Amino acid sequence: MWPFNKKPKLPGIELHADGQISFTLTDEEEAEVNNFFRMLKDSSQGSEQGTLYIHPDAHKAMTAWALIGYAQRQVSLVESADKRGIDKDLCFRKALAAASKAYSLHSLPIYMFDMGCLFEMLGDTASAQGAFTSFLESQGKFKASDVDNITLRQRDVEAAVLEARKKVDPTHR
């Protein structure tokens, strides 16, 4: 379900000769995820009881959420910074890598929509179309778990579906 038509070089993502894809978090992504969990631990520790237990599925979802937050900040960096000092392409590739890793950890269809938007920002319309199509197909079959519902509270999935339909079929209204 990897929507790449080309073999882009994305930070921390490796495509192997056998078609398998592996990823590692970059130092920046790792810091973002660690900060996210540190904030949770700090805010939940009214006493000195020790560690916070997080179910593995929730941990993956929260890690993915932190990666999507990192991707959003990379895009915001491009939108708000002096164009001369920012490598726009690098920021978008970092964002795409983080969104791809988020999807690998927690396969929410909305993350495929995010990747479609990032492909568009990179000028890769064929991959964007593939991502939007995959998003629409996946979203049509998607049954949200409790963890998914919590993760999706901040997202407007219906608006994303309408936007993706317009991208896939410009005559759609």
pLDDT in tens, 21-40: 778 888 898 888 888 777 76
How far is the C-alpha of 106 from the C-alpha of 111, rounded, in Å?
A: 9
98-129, pLDDT tens digit by residue? 999 999 999 999 999 999 999 999 999 999 99
Per the prediction, the chain carries an average pLDDT of: 85
Q: Is the pLDDT of residue 1 over 50?
A: no
pLDDT of residue 49: 55
53 or 123: which carries more pLDDT confidence?
Answer: 123
Least confident of 46-50, 71-75, 141-145: 46-50
In 3D, which of 122, 155, 146 has the Cα closest to residue 135? 155
pLDDT of residue 50: 56
pLDDT of residue 2: 41
Q: Is the pLDDT of residue 43 over 60?
A: no
In 3D, which of 65, 53, 56, 37 has the Cα closest to residue 151? 65
Q: Within 13 Å, how many C-alpha atoms sit on residue 53's CB side? A: 2
Segment 10-14 shows an average pLDDT of 80
Tell me how many degrees the CA angle 63-109-98 measures, rounded to the nearest 5. 40
Q: Is the pLDDT of residue 72 over 80?
A: yes
Q: Is the pLDDT of residue 132 over 80?
A: yes
Q: What is the DSSP letter of 52?
A: P
How far is the C-alpha of 148 from the C-alpha of 93, rounded, in Å?
A: 26
How far is the C-alpha of 40 from the C-alpha of 44, rounded, in Å?
A: 6
pLDDT of residue 8: 58
Segment 60-88 shows an average pLDDT of 88
Segment 47-68 shows an average pLDDT of 80
Q: How confident is the model at residue 168 (pLDDT cuts 50, 70, 90)?
A: very high
Distances (CA, A) of 33 to 40, 61, 78, 119, 165: 11, 11, 21, 23, 32
How far is the C-alpha of 28 from the C-alpha of 58, rounded, in Å?
A: 22
